[in-house]
Amino acid sequence: MNIALLFNSADREIEPSRVKATYLREVTAGLNDAEARAYLLELIERDIAEAKEGLGRLKDAIPHADKQGVQVLGILWNARPRIKTYGYISQELEYLNGRYPDEIALNSAVKRLRRALEKTDFPIEIRNHYGIGYNLHAPANWQAPWGDE
């Protein structure tokens, strides 16, 4: 069995989405369509519940941020220090909210998020890579107050 794993050239970690997809393919191979659909829907619901719980902790830590700003921070925090494209962030926001924000709406959300972060003492910086997307920079030894693993 040939399994292609993607590696991040910066830190040489296995991309979790590929491992998860391979695992899901193996698990659902022995199920009929209805069972596989029910299993995958259960996983999606659990994933969304975990994401909402994590976003709740972020919202508590940054009370001045709006919902979309907290979601953008969660996306960038989980991807740090990698750059995430405008399209990737918009797709993640669509997954969380059910609607796809355009680039202007995304830029506005980041602007509001930066203002909210200025009101805290967090050493977080959101960097814009013109024409590409955003990444988040935080000191390596900084402990996030929202209970990051």
> In this predicted model, which residue has the larger pLDDT, 10 or 27?
27
**Residue 116 and residue 62: Cα distance in Å, rounded?**
7
User: Residue 96 is encoded by which pair of tokens?
Assistant: 């969380």
User: Residues, the chain, total?
Assistant: 149
**What are the domain boundaries of the chain?**
16-137
Give 76-133 pLDDT, tens digit per residue: 888 888 888 988 999 888 888 888 888 888 888 899 988 888 888 888 888 999 888 9
* CATH 3.20.80.10 fits domain 16-137: no
The answer to whether 88 and 78 are in contact (CB under 8 A) is: no
pLDDT at residue 4, rounded to an integer: 37
pTM of the predicted model, to two decimals? 0.63
